[in-house]
Each structure stands twice: as structure tokens, then as C-alpha cells.
Structure 1
Amino acid sequence: MKFAIVSDIHGNIKALEAFIKYIDDKSIEKILNLGDILAGEYPKEVFEKVFSDKRFINIRGNHENKLSAYLYEQYGGEIIRKLNKLELKKIIDINGKNFLMVHSRETSNTDIPLLYNGESLEKFLKDYDDSVDYVLIGHTHLPLMVTSYGEKTIINPGSLGLTIDGYAYFCIGEFTNEEISFNFKKIKV
């Protein structure tokens, strides 16, 4: 079973469409979206595509907070109602493994994760729920995978829509038998 991990689409419809084509070609069943769906040139179009695709499991990023008033003025209350239903964090089970989805930190979707602020790896790992197997974060736009013995694995897929090198970044998780692997991907947009 394969699933995708994405974050920080930021209204980039071209990147989103390239990503969806990729996952359609690979028959990927779930998309774990870590927030910052909005902003950029096409927030409404990206919003509609993400919320109409049943494979997406979404949480709220900091841009969903910031753009509420603007979106209400531009497009009305339906978008705001759907955004307000998004949780700041979510734990989901995939094949018996618990995945914590947060945009940045459990306590804030705007604060930078501790490792990116120069804190120790130990503090970074302890900043997230100990009962989960995997922590999925976004916000920094930088791909990352950190695993520590006896601890959880933390994954940041990078930014799908806001990169400086012209690529959309994401991660594919795959269960084969009892094993799980993660492969970071980038596609030119």
C-alpha cells in the first residue's frame, strides 16, 4: 500500500496538478496533507481540487489562518466553513502504525520546529507525541527525515508549491509486508 505526504501547496495549481498526475499514475490511495494549502496565485482553484479529491486527509497550516478574511471577501463563506473544520493536528492509523500530522509543532502551526531553531535532536524529538510511530511536519519547505533509536521518525516532505529551484517536493510512503519505506520525490513544474 502506498500513500503520499505533501505540505505547503501555497496555491500553486501547476505543482498540484503535476503531483496529482504522478500519484494517479502510481495508484496512490491516500494523501496526507500537512497544511498551507492556500496563498499564491490560485488559492480557490487549489482549495477546490484538494477538497474535492477524497484521497486528501488535511490539517490546517498557518496560511489557512492568515487568509480567512481575504478568502471570505473574495469567495464567500463556504471556503471559511471548510477551513474552520480542519484540525491543527491529527493522528491517523495506516497499517497499524500511528502517524501524527502537524504543520509545524503540536503546540503551534506557526512556530518553527525546534531542530530548525538550533535546538538539540533530543529536544526536537521530545517535542512531539511519544505514542506515535511517525511525525509528519511541514512549514519549513525543507525535506527532512530524522530517526532515532527507540524514538519515532519525523518526516518533512518539503514544499509542493513554494520551492526556489522549480521542483515540487513530496514523499511517498510504502508498506510491503511488515516493512515501511519512505522515498522523497521531486518533479519539475
Structure 2
Amino acid sequence: MRIAVLSDIHGNLAALDAVRADIERRGADLIVDLGDLLSGPLQVAETADRLIALGWPTIAGNHERQVLNDPPERMSESDRHAVAHLRADQREWLRKLPASLRLSDEVLMVHGTPRSDLECFIETIDAAGIRAASAAEAAERLGDTDARLILCGHTHVPRSLRLDDGRLIVNPGSVGLQAYSGEHPHPHRVENHSPHARYAIVERHDDGVWTAELLAVDYDWDAAAALALRNGRPDWARALATGRV
């Protein structure tokens, strides 16, 4: 069983299409999406239409929740851009997305952790910034789930972590945005140091062990950066073009 895992597209349709082409070349039995689909200064409605047509198993991220529920004065600039460009039918599609999804007895999809779409799973953010989480920290965030493979997103950091009991947690990184500054729960910066679109392929082997391959894909990030700049987001333009804040 080979599953292509996408997360954090953030309306970057060019990156999404490049990842789709790479998946077609490599092959996968299933493609899944871990949320944060649209928010950002890029192609909101066009990306929504593409994802609706594809019909992949998809969950909501924190940005979907925020776009649907937060008052405008509490929204980030990226969420306000999404709200301004979404049609009613696209909003209704977002409302129907689950917060998590159990693909099988073995596989669980979450955006952050099983208990929160804002909590990092295999990273920890503290007053010093963001760092890789320990196995003990990640195991505590699992709660009572018995899944053998846990797929998470949110941080945009491509990484996998195998726990002492053999379970695997995989963050495929972000399809659409390779650097950003965050404030929750402490100020921090994420920088992947290159602009490539990220995703992962996870595979179950004959012995029942899951493994993950983290992948980076070329696309026209300069065009994406130019679009962000035209839409008034020089911060996004730099992040898209360089993978740095």
C-alpha cells in the first residue's frame, strides 16, 4: 500500500499541480490531504475547484476552521484573502470536511494532533523557538489512538518520527509555502531553506512496517512569488521564492 500525503497547500495551485504530476510519475494507491488548503494570497477559488474535482480523502486544518468561524477582525490577512475569494459552494465543501479521518485500522489523518489543529505533533514550540520534538513528547500527544501510522501537517516541516513501539508519525511538509513566521504558542520562524513543494509517500511493507519518503518537487515558484507580490504580500513573495522568512 502506497499513500501520497499532501498538506498545507495554501492556495498554491502551481505547486499542487507539480506535486500531482510527480505522484503520477512515481505511482500511489491513494492520495490524501491534511488541510490548510486555501488561505494565502494566491489562487484560492481555483485551488478549491481543483481539490473538489479530485475528491481525495481530505481533512480540515486550522485555517479552514478560522475561515468559516472567526470574525473578520480576528482573521489573519491570509484568511481574509481566502474569505474574499471563496464562493458559497466552496464554503459549503469546506464545512463538510472532517477534523480528522481514520483511513483504516492502522492509519489516522490529523492536521495538528488528535486533540488540536493548532498543536504541533513532531515539533515543539517554546520560548526558544521551534525544534524537533522528542519521541516522549510526540507519544504524549497521541492520546489514546492506537493507529500505527499517524499523518500530520500544520508546521510545514517535512519530518518523520518512529516511536519506541514502532509506530510512525509523518509530516509531509507543505505543498505550498516553505517559510513563515508564527505566534502560537510562542513567536517562531519556520524556514525550509528552499522553495520546492513538499509531500511524502508512505508505504506499508509485507512485514507490516510503514516507512516514509519525504519528497521535494520543482515548480515555478518565481511566478507564485510574483502573484503574492501583486496581491500585496511581500512576506509571502520572499518565502515562496527562497524558502526563507
Asked if these proteins are the same fold (TM beyond 0.5), I'd say yes
Alpha-carbon contact 1:72-1:79 (below 8 Å) kept: no
Q: 1:53 to 1:114 in 2, by over 3 A?
A: closer
Which residue matches 2:125? 117
Aligned mates of 2:218, 2:212 — CA distance in 1: 20
Which residue matches 2:48? 47
Q: Identify, as 1 or 2, the structure richer in strand.
A: 1
Aligned mates of 1:115, 1:167 — CA distance in 2: 21
Alpha-carbon contact 1:115-1:121 (below 8 Å) kept: no
Alpha-carbon contact 2:149-2:210 (below 8 Å) kept: no
Which residue matches 2:211? 181
For the residue of structure 2 that corresponds to 1:50, the secondary structure is: helix
Aligned mates of 1:132, 1:175 — CA distance in 2: 13
Cα offsets for 1:13-66 (capped at 9, x unmatched): 110010111112233231121100112310111111112113x21000011122
Which residue matches 1:84? 95
Identity within the alignment, %: 27
Superposition RMSD in Å: 2.1
Number of residue-to-residue matches in the alignment:
185
Which residue matches 2:159? 144
Aligned mates of 1:74, 1:168 — CA distance in 2: 23
Confirm or deny that 1:172 pairs with 2:201: yes
The residue type equivalent to 1:77 in the other structure is A
Alpha-carbon contact 1:34-1:138 (below 8 Å) kept: yes
Which residue matches 1:14? 14
Q: 1:72 to 1:139 in 2, by over 3 A?
A: closer
For the residue of structure 1 that corresponds to 2:139, the secondary structure is: helix
Alpha-carbon contact 2:135-2:164 (below 8 Å) kept: no
TM-score, normalised by the number of residues in structure 1: 0.87
Structure index of larger Rg: 2
The residue type equivalent to 1:152 in the other structure is R
Please, which runs of 5 or more residues in structure 1 have no aligned partner? none
Cα offsets for 1:64-90 (capped at 9, x unmatched): 122337556544321111111111111
The residue type equivalent to 2:51 in the other structure is V
Q: 1:17 to 1:62 in 2, by over 3 A?
A: same
Aligned mates of 2:112, 2:83 — CA distance in 1: 25
